[in-house]
Amino acid sequence: MKKLFVFLALAAVVFTACNKPASSGKDKGGKTGGYEAPITIDGDFSDWAALDASKVVVTECSAESAYQDLKKMKLYYDEYYLFVYLEYDFSAYNNKVGTEDGVWFLTHMFCFNDDNNTATGGYPGQWEQGDTPCVDGFVEFTTVDGNPDDGTVGSLVNEPEFGYYAWTGEPNASTWSWGAVEADMAKFAKGYATDKAIEISFLRALYPRGKMEDTITLGVNCQINGWDATGALPNKGEVTETNPTGRPNLLSITAVK
């Protein structure tokens, strides 16, 4: 898997407490053309508490899940943006950053069924999608970045870069079939990470595949050093005859009007 980006901070990673970047707010989710974004992407998460809780979609980690590294996700979706708050706990990897059996980098995939159509896309990931895997594309990013090949130890990236990959396989296939999409990712996606959480804004008008419907489904995972997911949200599902794995469906969200 092509390593692009990742996120996390470990107690063993030495970093200075983050200072908020100087910004007018206009390039970080501020006031534009009469619209004032409710969330500023700056690592200060207090503005999430000011949102109408009835309009925020929340999913939390299940104690029974095999994917424990991602703890909570909050989503606020309006006509212009999808805002994400993603909380994590990587304390299990303390003192292992850059060691032979430890953590060098973390990759995150934010997976979108952007057309809310189960007949398109593919890739089941960590979610129960039956015979119709339907992820149309994913955003990948890194917030702890290192390289075992040259001995670069992983370190926190407060403001990660983002890349986008669209599904290129047969509809509803479970293969790994993706193609990079050229897009102005710096304007489409902005994030700010601390050692506890990251907040992200996705600008709907610049979505690389062209359109995000008012109702979409999605999920997010993280992988340590490559392929194997150690965190995923949502991750709470019910074990039934038709869902023996107990995996959840992708999370559904509808834009606030």
- Please name which of 128, 96, 97, 143 lies closest in space to residue 217, comparing C-alpha atoms: 128
Cis peptide before 234 (omega within 30 of 0): yes
Residue 26 in this model has a pLDDT that exceeds 70: no
Structure tokens at 141: 């990013």
Confidence of residue 202 (pLDDT cuts 50, 70, 90): very high
Most confident of 3-7, 220-224, 252-256: 252-256
- Please name which of 167, 165, 201 lies closest in space to residue 43, comparing C-alpha atoms: 201
Lowest-pLDDT range, 19-33, 99-113, 186-200, 243-257? 19-33
Q: Write down the mean pLDDT value for the chain.
A: 86
The pTM of the full predicted model, rounded to 2 decimals, is 0.85
3-state secondary structure of 239: coil
For the segment 57-68, what is each residue's pLDDT rounded down to a tens digit? 999 999 888 899
For the segment 93-111, what is each residue's pLDDT rounded down to a tens digit? 888 888 877 788 888 999 9
- Cα 98 from Cα 155, distance rounded (Å): 9
Over residues 214-218, the mean pLDDT reads: 98
Dihedral Cα 109, 220, 9, 225, nearest 10 deg: -40
Measured in whole angstroms, the distance separating CA 196 from the mean position of its chain's CA atoms is: 14
Asked if 128 and 237 touch (Cβ cutoff 8 Å), the reply is yes
Lowest-pLDDT range, 94-103, 224-233, 236-245? 236-245
Confidence of residue 118 (pLDDT cuts 50, 70, 90): very high
> pLDDT higher for 44 or 5?
44
Long-range contacts of the stretch 54-59 (C-beta < 8 A, 24+): 55/256, 57/251, 57/253, 59/233, 59/234, 59/236, 59/251
> pLDDT higher for 131 or 6?
131
3-state secondary structure of 2: coil
Confidence of residue 14 (pLDDT cuts 50, 70, 90): very low
